[in-house]
Amino acid sequence: MRPSDVYWHIYQRDEIKPELQGRMIYVLEIPRLPGCPVLRHVFDPLGRDFPDDSNERIWSLMSTLRHGIIYNGISKEAAYDVMLTDPKILKEDSRFLLYNHEIVCNSRKFFLAEPERGFDLLPTHTALLLSGMGVRDHGTTGPRDYGTAEYEKT
């Protein structure tokens, strides 16, 4: 896989619901292939509630071979509250397909004022990433990549 095959999307503070805005940075680190769960990171650029090495750590994450979504400008409370929307990891979801899909979709719907805004204008790979679908090496994905059409639901 080439670095150009890794996709990241950044939501800025003005896209976050006003009541959830703050100074934290919430990052979803998304595996490129099924088999691992989405990882979450919360950063505090001022170092008040979390270590202040956020810039270095975010750049380190972005240089890995994983996809990611950044919510820039959420409150500490929102970072904790979004976890209440977490799905259970089901025994039959051993490759974390449904779990990862729901984590990505729940976060987008929880944080964003207009979670569906602009999807029709996004490049395919970005729209797939933000809708909780896996993004494969050349920007393609779909039910045949994961074995079921169930994951097309958002």
Q: Domains of the chain: which residue ranges?
A: 3-152
Q: What is the pTM of this model?
A: 0.76
At residue 143 the predicted structure's pLDDT band, cuts being 50, 70 and 90, is very low
Q: Residue 144's pLDDT is what?
A: 26
Q: Residue 148's pLDDT is what?
A: 28
Q: Which residue has the higher pLDDT, 84 or 61?
A: 84
At residue 122 the predicted structure's pLDDT band, cuts being 50, 70 and 90, is confident
Q: In sequence order, which residues have a C-beta less than 8 Å from that of residue 94 and are 6 or more positions away? A: none
- The CA-CA-CA angle for residues 78, 82, 64, to 5°, reads 100
- The predicted-structure confidence for 78-116, as pLDDT tens digits, reads as follows 999 999 989 988 888 888 888 988 998 999 999 999 998
The residue type found at 58 is I
Alpha-carbon distance of 102 to 84, in angstroms, equals 12
